[in-house]
């Protein structure tokens, strides 16, 4: 198993969740994400990994921001994305102090994306693994992704792909020979 595929242990997960919450708290007090020094953390948290941080309040989405490609150490990616999910998700107003104790933090650590080869929409649908795959769909400037957790709301391959096209800004029935789709998996964990 390469270090990129290494599962995180319980202590790593706890550290990431605590860092995410501390970064949001720093944002409320100081207006910027928590500064983390990756070298101060275990090697597993220093590895470059892509993450998404999702905030839920009363079971409803309250913010979700992340990266599809690994661009920085895992611990820093979580700190930055937690801050962004709380204060920079354009779908929501910035989190306020009264909401801080009401939010639950959910972190998804992504595997590197794997491009899929397909000859038709039907062929693509056959390759998608419900409940396992997150997808990145791209055609020109149009791009969208769904994390594997979205399968809970969209349990069929057809619905998942159709809604992803719409999220990317394309028509629901869109198809093109230039369409690119990659899949990834996530290791996900959340606060209790």
Q: What is the pLDDT of residues 58-96, one digit of tens each?
A: 999 999 999 998 999 999 999 999 999 999 999 999 999
CATH class of 114-185: alpha beta
Domain edges within the chain:
6-110, 114-185
Closest CA to 150 of 172, 178, 128, 170: 128
Question: How many other C-beta atoms lie within 10 A of the C-beta of residue 34?
Answer: 21
Q: Which residue in this structure is represented by tokens 């992504």? A: 110
Residue 6 pLDDT:
60
Q: Please say whether the beta carbons of 102 and 132 come within 8 A.
A: no
94: tokens are 């910035």
Residue 4 pLDDT:
43
Q: What is the pLDDT of residues 151-161, one digit of tens each?
A: 999 999 999 99
Task: Look up the CATH architecture of domain 6-110.
Answer: 2-Layer Sandwich (3.30)
- pLDDT over 60 at 36, yes or no: yes
At residue 3 the predicted structure's pLDDT band, cuts being 50, 70 and 90, is: very low
């Amino acid at each position: 198993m390469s270090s990129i595929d290494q599962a995180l242990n319980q202590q790593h997960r706890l550290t990431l969740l605590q860092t995410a919450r501390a970064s949001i708290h720093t944002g409320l007090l100081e207006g910027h994400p928590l500064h983390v020094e990756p070298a101060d953390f275990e090697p597993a948290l220093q590895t470059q990994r892509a993450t998404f941080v999702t905030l839920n309040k009363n079971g409803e989405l309250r913010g979700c921001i992340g990266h599809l490609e690994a661009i920085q150490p895992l611990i820093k990616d979580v700190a930055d994305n937690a801050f962004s999910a709380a204060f920079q998700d354009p779908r929501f107003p910035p989190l306020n102090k009264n909401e801080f104790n009401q939010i639950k933090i959910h972190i998804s650590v992504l595997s590197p994306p794997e491009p899929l080869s397909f000859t038709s929409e039907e062929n693509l649908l056959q390759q998608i693994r419900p409940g396992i795959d997150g997808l990145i769909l791209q055609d020109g400037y149009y791009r969208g992704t769904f994390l594997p957790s979205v399968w809970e709301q969209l349990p069929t391959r057809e619905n998942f792909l159709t809604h992803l096209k719409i999220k990317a800004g394309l028509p629901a029935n869109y198809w093109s020979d230039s369409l690119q789709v990659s899949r990834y998996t996530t290791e996900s964990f959340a606060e209790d």
